Structure 1
Amino acid sequence: MADNQVSDIGSHVHLHAKGLSIPFAAFFIVGEIAGSGVLALPKAIDDSGWIGLILLVVYTLISSYTGGILGESWLIILEKHPEYKTHCPDPYPTLAEKTFGKKGRYLVSFSINFTLFGGSTVFLLLASQNIEHLIEDWFDVNESFCIWLVILAAVVCPLTWFGTPVDFWPVAVGATCTTGVACIILIIKVAMDAGSYSTVLHSSTEFQPFSMAFGTLMFAIGGHPAFPTIQADMKKPGNFKWAVLLGFTVVLFMYLPLTSLAYFVYGKNVQPNILQMSTGVINQVVEVLITIHLLMALLIVINPVCQELESLVKVPKHFTWKRCMFRSMVVASVLFVAETIPKFNDILSLVGGSTVTLLAYICPPLFYLKLKSVTSHEAMLMNDGNVEVVSLSGETGGLPLWVKVMNIEIILLGAVPGIISTYSALKSIIGSDFSKPCYV
């Protein structure tokens, strides 16, 4: 076996020497997740009441766990199918196919593309709106954000031509750092606004706003569609669970202080985008940082979509003009959707309550339970022949009853609120007037 293809299952060494370490994988996780949540979560917490703060902590912990078992499931697939250790452009759909067949693959593939494509559209919309506000404040030029959509799409497009996450790790570092600094500044700004309102009132907790707030919460912490792609680029894929834990810890330390302060300082006065609460230099600095993050996060979330679609149309894995043309077409499609539906609140809740919930809280436990059950059965069969099968996690397969029950509960905790949130988001979209497309 060549030096660059040495594999040690016990230590989970990746076949590629130049892979992501735990910190850099965590950077990608934070860079993908944080950003839009910083802007939208304060309003979602007000709509859900103080219990929203508890839900934020609980579901962040659950997301960390499901991200970890999603990684463990992929390790089992790698053990059974070593050919995927060199390259797999669509690890999550492949995992679904090996677990539940073609139907599982189709469902997961659609959900991933819907989630990441929708997320890319939201990121482009938010970045363009921020640029519009900044240019208006700085130069007193009132240029429509519809024009900025085109400009930003043109700027981002060449950067999408990089192959996989390992090829553009500085983007993940930049996305994480800009959001971290923006959160610190925002926390200080909100703390300085304490006492601005003589009486802090909170919105009454009603069914539809609460359920839509759940969708926003899921969108803000559900980065699972891109997780297997990040894991596939790690030096030691078996360490992915530690990257997930580190990433979600950082995300929680970003979200919780800001949303808590905003809840008690602004109450129901908080805007859907917290940057709309005030103006001035501090606000502009935060707006610049968040805009940089949104553009970098767009690069991260659009990459798995491009890789999977490229595998379907047989675009070569190495850098060619075909990749440039194909990914430019994907960016053009994102731009078209953004120009057609120039709003994001309801869509964010719809995506969060439907496909994000499916990919973050339903599929990982289902895959994990199924694969562990199959692994346990195979181990028993092999043991009858005096041969012991050891999984990549160092276990002979099988799960304790309490672990099975916990995973079933997680599925229910995702499925029931997710269905309600999806219904409420659809009802809101159908019952409201759509903004006119930019090209009308």
Structure 2
Amino acid sequence: MADIQVDLESMDVEKIGGLGIVTCAVFIVGEIAGSGVLALPAAVEGSGWTGLALMVLCALVSAYTGNILGKAWLIVRKRTPEYQTGHVRYPYPAIGQAAFGVFGRRLVSISIDFTLFGVGVVFLILASMNIGNLLAPYWADANACYIMPIVAFCLLPVALLGTPADFWFVAVGATCATGVACVILVVLIAIDGHHQKEEGFEIVHREVTFTSFSVAFGTICFAFGGHPAFPTFQADMKKQSNFGKAVLLGYFIVLMMYFPVSLAGFTNYGHIKDNVLDTVPAGVAHTIVSILIIAHLMLGFVIVVNPFCQEIEHLCRIPTNFTYKRVISRTAVVVAVLFVAESVPHFGNILALVGGSTTTLLAYILPSLFYMKLCRQKPLSLDDWEPEPEVPLHTKVFNYEIVVVGFIAGIASTYSALESLISDKFTVPCYISPTRALGNT
């Protein structure tokens, strides 16, 4: 257990050896960025110029809700002595329980498990697909179905590490890889677009429909929805009250990665594929970007799966220190992710489905609801805890607007993603026919 120091007035725990503001921001970038770089150009194609504005709006709202989620955790920890010292494995569900009891806790736990598990599946599929594309010229039978087990096996040792504070180097590597990849990708798209214009190629964008816009919204929400893991990062910070600063810095960096790539893709191409790397021309630059994105996806896989593993270990009462029980539980999680990835190796609509449903719930609806409810709560006695100051009217209105818009947009996006999954027909699982399984990806 890490050494801690407690400010008795604010009850703000300072953990010796914990994450700083910059390191926490790097973890946020490492968790969020990656799949968004590949998927957002297609999302903007499906939503038109509005998609670029929606991207900026989602970044701002996500940063705000991430900040108030951090404030909600500080309130819960201040009122609960057992959370003021030591390591907390399940901070987001604990916030849900403090706000709405057992129902709130279970809703958060189920949503987090579905979201992080789904993100892990998407990361594993994308990393394996990109590796397969790189190996295709040298290996005739290169197929993501064969590569996914190898990737999962290679990632397992790192997935066994305890908490984010134990693998800060993973977040740094993921962030640096994506940052460099974005710069190269923007230059590559711009050069290719210039060549196409010289050859008289006319850019024709697809018609924006309700379904395409809703699916795009889900994809954009997914790209900015790192909230399931945020409280876990905050719980590992040296000073948890600084989490809001880390969130703002993290989202600023993510937006600086996402926006130029999406703008370049939309202004230089039409009919962009789900994975933008399948649209840009092959070559040395393409290979470098692919390698960097693969590195991020593999490292990001470890980051997003960790909170899910900690939740499972808490439910199974597995000790926080390293034991054979952790090896068994995390191996089982990685195998389960691998099985789902091999069963449904089509990431586009899965990404939109997760983004429109549980990601929207965890990133845009629950943070505002939990924070407002916690601020309204009154202590049972004077010896219990001090109530929070009255929330200003404009803050209440803004938060309830976020909840209403997120609820309506989330339902529309989830419905459209399900409709697309059904209409596109599910791909054949890898274990039935590896050759046919990825024919539609």
| Superposition TM-score, scaled by structure 1 size | 0.94
Give deviations 1:17-57, integer Å, cap 9, x for gaps: 11000000000100000000000000100110101100100
Q: Decide whether aligned partners of structure 1 residues 10 and 171 sit closer, same or farther in structure 2, where only a CA change above 3 A counts.
A: farther
- Shift of residue 186, structure 1, vs aligned partner: 0.5
Matches within 5 A, 1:34-433: 34-85=33-84, 86-137=86-137, 139-195=138-194, 196-197=196-197, 198-266=201-269, 268-277=270-279, 278-374=281-377, 377-378=378-379, 382=382, 396-433=388-425
Question: What amino acid is aligned across from residue 419 of structure 1 in structure 2?
Answer: I
Instruction: Quote how far apart the aligned CAs of 1:143 are.
Output: 2.1
Structure 1 position 11, deviation (Å): 6.5
Amino acid at match of 2:276: I
Structure 2: segments with no counterpart, 5+ residues? 433-441
What letter matches 1:262 in structure 2? G
Match in the other structure for 1:434: 426
- Letter matched to residue 345 of structure 1: G
Is the Cα contact below 8 Å between 1:11 and 1:236 reproduced in 2?
A: no
Bigger shift: 428-437 or 287-296? 428-437
- The answer to whether the 8 Å contact 1:349/1:422 transfers is yes
Query: Any conservation in 1 of the 2:133–2:142 contact (CA below 8 Å)?
Result: no
Rounded Cα–Cα distance in structure 2 between residues aligned with 1:207 and 1:353 = 14
Structure 2 letter corresponding to 1:429: L
- What SS does the corresponding residue of 2:322 show, helix, strand or coil? coil
Secondary structure in 2 matching 1:154: helix
- Aligned Cα root-mean-square deviation (Å): 1.8
Contact 1:124 1:295 in 2 (8 A): yes
Distance 1:155 1:62, change over 3 A: same
Which residue pairs with 2:439 in the alignment? none
Q: Percent identity?
A: 49
1:323 shift after superposition: 0.4
Q: What letter corresponds to residue 63 of structure 1 in structure 2?
A: S
User: 1:7 is paired with a residue of what secondary structure?
Assistant: strand
Listed one character per residue, the Cα deviations across residues 97-147 of structure 1 (whole Å, up to 9, x for unaligned) are: 11101111111101000000000000000000011111113x243322111
- Shift of the 14–201 alpha-carbon distance from structure 1 to 2, 3 Å rule, reads same
Structure 1 position 433, deviation (Å):
1.7
Which secondary structure does the structure 1 equivalent of 2:25 belong to? helix
* CA spacing shift, 1:3–1:329, aligned 2, 3 Å: closer
| Distance in 2 separating the partners of 1:417 and 1:259 | 21
The alpha carbon displacement at 1:201 in A equals 1.7
Pairwise CA distance, 1:194: 2.6
- Provide the aligned length of Structure 1 versus Structure 2: 426
CA distance in structure 2 between the aligned counterparts of 1:326 and 1:228, rounded to whole angstroms: 22
Q: Are the aligned partners of 2:353 and 2:414 in contact in 1 as well (CA < 8 Å)?
A: yes
Distance 1:180 1:298 in 2: 17
Pair 369,41 (structure 1): closer, same or farther in 2 beyond 3 Å: same
- Is the partner of 1:14 in helix, strand or coil? strand
Alignment check: 8 A CA contact 2:21 2:246 kept: yes
Judge conservation of contact 1:12–1:237 (CA < 8 Å) in 2. Answer: no
Paired residue for 1:8?
Answer: 7
Contact 1:12 1:236 survives alignment (8 Å): no
Question: What letter matches 1:193 in structure 2?
Answer: D
Shift in Å, 1:190? 1.2
The AA in structure 1 aligned to 2:329 is: F
1:12 shift after superposition: 6.5
Measured after TM superposition, the shift of residue 82 of structure 1 is: 2.4
Q: Distance in 2 between matches of 1:422 and 1:23?
A: 34
Q: Deviations over 1:158-196 (max 9, x none)?
A: 111100000000000001000000001001111112331
Give the secondary-structure state (helix, strand or coil) at the position aligned to 1:19: coil
* Cα pair 2:41 2:266 within 8 Å, conserved: yes
Is there any run of 5+ residues in structure 1 with no aligned partner, and where?
none
| Distance in 1 between residues matched to 2:96 and 2:160, nearest whole Å | 27
Cα contact 1:158–1:324 (8 A) shared by 2: no
Question: When the two structures are superposed, what TM-score results if normalisation uses the length of structure 2?
Answer: 0.93
State whether residues 132 and 144 of structure 1, in contact with CA within 8 Å, keep that contact through their aligned partners in structure 2.
yes
**For 1:32, what is the secondary structure of its paired residue?**
helix
Inter-partner Cα distance in structure 2 for 1:12 and 1:261: 47
Structure 2 counterpart SS, 1:121: helix
Q: Is the 8 A contact 1:135 1:142 kept in 2?
A: no
**Post-superposition shift, 1:274?**
0.7
In 2, the alpha carbon distance for the partners of 1:109 and 1:98 equals 14
Shift of 1:434: 1.2
Is contact 2:227–2:362 with CA below 8 Å preserved after alignment?
yes
For the residues of structure 2 that align with 1:59 and 1:433, how far apart are their CA atoms?
Answer: 30
CA distance 1:321–1:389, shift in 2 (3 Å): closer
Deviations 1:52-104 (A, max 9, x none): 10010011100000000000000001100121131211111111011101111
| Equivalent residues of 1:215, 1:353 under 8 A apart | yes
| Deviation for aligned residue 1:435 | 1.2
Aligned letter for 2:121?
T
How far does the alpha carbon of each residue in 1:224-262 deviate from its partner, in whole angstroms, 9 at most, with x for none? 000000000000000000000000000010011111111
CA distance in structure 1 between the aligned counterparts of 2:354 and 2:363, rounded to whole angstroms: 12
Render the CA deviation track for 1:306-360: whole Å, top value 9, x for unaligned: 0011011111110111101110010000001011111111111000000000000
Q: 1:6 aligns to what SS in structure 2? A: strand
1:403-436 residue CA offsets vs partner (Å, 9 max, x unmatched): 0000000111211111000001111112222111
